[in-house]
Amino acid sequence: MFKELQVAFSEHTKIFSKNSKSLIANIRTGNCIFLSNEIVGIYKRAEEKKLSFDELFSCVEESNSRELLVKVSEKLDVLKMWKHNEKEVLNMRKSKISLDITNNCNLRCRHCCISAGDNLRGKELSTDEIFTIIDRMMLFDPNDVTVSGGEPMIREDFFEITEKIRSVYNGNLSLMTNGTLIKEEATAKYLVQMYDSFSLSLDGYDEASCAAIRGKGVYDEVINAVKLLRKHTNKISLSMIKTSDNIEYTSLFRELCKSLDVKPVIRLFEPVGRGKELYDKVTVDRENDPSCINWNHVEEKFVSKKLYKYKPQIFACQGAISEFQIDQKGDVYPCPMFMDEEFKLFNILDLTEPEEFITSRKYLSSNGFFNFSKYLPENVPHCSGCTKQLLCFSCAAEIQRMMLTGDIEKRCAEYSNYFDMYWRDYERI
Ligand SMILES: C[S@@+](CC[C@H](N)C(=O)[O-])C[C@H]1O[C@@H](n2cnc3c(N)ncnc32)[C@H](O)[C@@H]1O
Ligand code: SF4
Ligand code: SF4
């Protein structure tokens, strides 16, 4: 029972107060809730005076108010907002890892974020070195691992690597592949036994649209792979990257996915790797993008759909906390979108005491983490003092993209009013 414990918010709980409301948000769990400033003020005073919950409750004479305070405190406990919840949050957090086993690829997609096949990231590691990476990866205590690349299936030892992973790990395992090397029914059957889910990429809805990005003849190969896998599993997603020159194809792409009975995934284009050179040519033009919100009707919709009653999604980036990207050299990064040298946390093969280094999270004092944290909302110069910073962005890569393009101020002018709506008193309208 937490009532004997001291009233104290977790260090991961951020509080933003404005008008008469406060947003209480835990950036590790993504939980959030709006409370009155009055109640938050009561907790803050109790925290200063180092009161226990019981002591706090006994200060409230009026029984209805006391009951309300008990209920709110319990709700905040369920949402893991208190200091005493921190250990539990740490323990329940398993890691999510993306493991690139090669930088090589049989395709040369024009936007490839890791410039696969261009040999920019050094030579391939041996099977034994990859096995060492897999053993050390287990020190992160993962429950979600994605094998990717480059094209992971291009490695001759791909099946050996798959068996090695399965010999040390039994959590969720996904394969991210361009699909062109799944040609036989037997391969598909084997993969479905070893992997829990599959992400294939197509970037088009027919031969011409796919060829413009992935190359000639790739469309038929991917469709064939999807059909072979689909005979044995329904855990398949097919992706397309949305850019200004293919935006009108997105509905056709969705129709195609429906006909194949797979999940469509529309990815945002990231100006990374080969994509960097393409940015000006293919980036989505927000003003003419029909999928962007029509801001003139936002408030109308916000009120008519009672959106103020729903919890907004908050920024709860897990990069370098419980999400890691391991590249084919064993370099570890906070996320697939932060794979430049400046964001490198460490090399997993270079560690002399891997267990001590990883379990005590020494990488949090690396230059790589320092550089990555510049893209967390509280460190963005334009946003550091803003009460809406946790509502405004969904991920650090989005912030980085906007800082690179200088779009942050433009977007602020559009979105700022929208997020203000959460602090307005709509209940009384
Ligand atoms: C780098 S690929 C590796 C796996 C495999 N070769 C494939 O193409 O699916 C992983 C995913 O990243 C996506 N991707 C590549 N370049 C990207 C970019 N510039 N922005 C966003 N996603 C990108 C691909 O479309 C693919 O879905
Ligand atoms: S996106 Fe995938 S298939 Fe295309 S070049 Fe990059 S790694 Fe290869
Ligand atoms: S872009 Fe504007 S509204 Fe969004 S967090 Fe930054 S300052 Fe706040």
Q: Largest alpha-carbon pair distance within the chain? A: 76
| pLDDT at residue 292, rounded to an integer | 47
Cα 19–chain centre separation: 31
Report how far ligand 2's centroid is from the alpha carbon of 140 (Å).
Answer: 27
Q: What mean pLDDT is predicted for residues 368-388?
A: 93
Whether the per-residue pLDDT at 290 is higher than 50: the answer is no
Average pLDDT, the chain: 90
| pLDDT at residue 401, rounded to an integer | 82
pLDDT-derived band at 291 (thresholds 50, 70, 90) equals very low
**Which atom from ligand 1 is nearest to the alpha carbon of 113?**
16
- Using the 8-state DSSP alphabet, how is residue 287 labeled? G
Q: Which two tokens stand for residue 248?
A: 């009108």
**Which atom from ligand 3 is nearest to the alpha carbon of 419?**
3
Q: Are 331 and 344 in contact (CB under 8 A)?
A: yes
Report how far ligand 3's centroid is from the alpha carbon of 421 (Å).
Answer: 14
| pLDDT at residue 246, rounded to an integer | 78
CB of residue 178 inside a 6 A radius of ligand 1: yes
pLDDT-derived band at 304 (thresholds 50, 70, 90) equals confident
Tens digits of per-residue pLDDT, 164-218? 999 999 999 999 999 999 999 999 999 999 999 999 999 999 999 999 899 999 9
CB of residue 198 inside a 6 A radius of ligand 1: no
Whether the per-residue pLDDT at 306 is higher than 90: the answer is no
Q: What mean pLDDT is predicted for residues 306-331?
A: 89
| pLDDT at residue 124, rounded to an integer | 86
Q: Are strands 323-326 and 331-333 parallel, antiparallel or unpaired?
A: antiparallel
- For residue 16, the ligand closest to its alpha carbon is 3
| pLDDT at residue 278, rounded to an integer | 67
Whether the per-residue pLDDT at 339 is higher than 80: the answer is yes
Whether the per-residue pLDDT at 120 is higher than 60: the answer is no
Most ligand 3 atoms within 8 A of CB, residue of 388, 390, 410 to mutate? 388
Q: Give me the residue label for tokens 């709700």.
A: 75
* Nearest to 237, CA basis, from 218, 257, 217, 222: 257
Q: What mean pLDDT is predicted for residues 328-347?
A: 94
For the chain, percent helix, then strand, then coil, each to nearest 5? Answer: 45, 15, 35
The residues, any chain, with a CB within 8 Å of residue 179's CB and separated by 6 or more, are 200, 201, 221, 222, 225, 226
Q: Are strands 172-177 and 21-26 parallel, antiparallel or unpaired?
A: unpaired
The residues, any chain, with a CB within 8 Å of residue 201's CB and separated by 6 or more, are 109, 176, 177, 178, 179, 214, 222, 238, 239, 240
Domain ranges for the chain = 2-89
Whether the per-residue pLDDT at 416 is higher than 90: the answer is no
Whether the per-residue pLDDT at 280 is higher than 90: the answer is no
Three-state DSSP state, 24: strand
pLDDT-derived band at 89 (thresholds 50, 70, 90) equals confident
Report how far ligand 2's centroid is from the alpha carbon of 117 (Å).
Answer: 8
| pLDDT at residue 399, rounded to an integer | 92
CA distance 94 to 345: 19
**Which atom from ligand 2 is nearest to the alpha carbon of 214?**
4
